[in-house]
Amino acid sequence: MSSYLPSIVAIVLAYLLGSLSFAVIVTRAMGMADPRSYGSKNPGATNVLRSGNKLAALATLLLDGIKGWVPVFLIHRYGAAYGLQEGTAAIAGLAAFLGHLYPIFFGFRGGKGVATALGVLVGIHPWLGLATGLTWVIIAFFFRYSSLASMAAAFFAPAYYVIGGGVAWPLDFAVLIAIIFISLLLFWRHRENIRRLVAGTESRLGSTKKD
């Protein structure tokens, strides 16, 4: 049990960090309406943007991304001394992502996890995060749907990891499984968006809560 203790502690702390819902924290600090009360009611950067406050949306986006990146980075940097390997870093990243989706501090009512997932991927390898992030930007630019861009990025992320495994970083099966889980959960969290996309009622980027 003692040999697994550092891994368990790291994963639990990563989940608790992920449970900090920065969409709610930032909007409260700025005296704004709770993002769970308008638009998609999703506590994430895209919905905060619907309030019209771009600074709050940007702060939410960065903080949500950082909380996914931090556990992976710290384990990469300091984990070897405690027997923590690449797979543990990826699982901790998955735990932070789950914390965002189901935050213990906010009644397990979290966001969809796009920014946090990207932060995890950047932590695993910057090129992986860059490739996935560029996919989001390209799809969002041409189609103006954040949900569609997020699902496209989620779809390609595992493939980018496998392709890069022979070039930029050593391929690790545990890391691949963690990325696949993150991608599948992103699709699950966007199931209502899929229905709206099919029905043609999905909100486009830049729309406000009045829309």
For the ranges 154-158, 188-192, 201-205, the lowest mean pLDDT is seen at 201-205
Distance from C-alpha of 208 to C-alpha of 171, rounded to nearest angstrom: 42
Taking residue 128's Cβ as centre, other Cβ atoms within 10 Å add up to: 25
Quote the pLDDT of residue 52. 86
Q: Is the pLDDT of residue 188 over 90?
A: yes
* pLDDT score recorded for residue 171: 87
What residue type is 191 in one-letter code?
A: R
- Mean pLDDT confidence for 181-202: 96
Give CA angle at 186 (183, 192), nearest 5°: 145
Q: Where are the domains of the chain?
A: 5-199
Residue 78 carries which side chain, given as an amino acid letter? Answer: Y
pTM for this entry: 0.93
Mean pLDDT of 109-134: 96
Predicted confidence at residue 165, as pLDDT, reads 81
Confidence at residue 211, expressed as pLDDT on a 0 to 100 scale: 41
Q: Does an H or E element contain 4, and which?
A: none
User: 75 near 147, Cβ under 8 Å?
Assistant: no
Q: Identify the three-state secondary structure at position 168.
A: coil
Digit-coded pLDDT (tens) for 14-59? 999 999 999 999 999 999 999 998 887 889 998 898 888 999 999 9
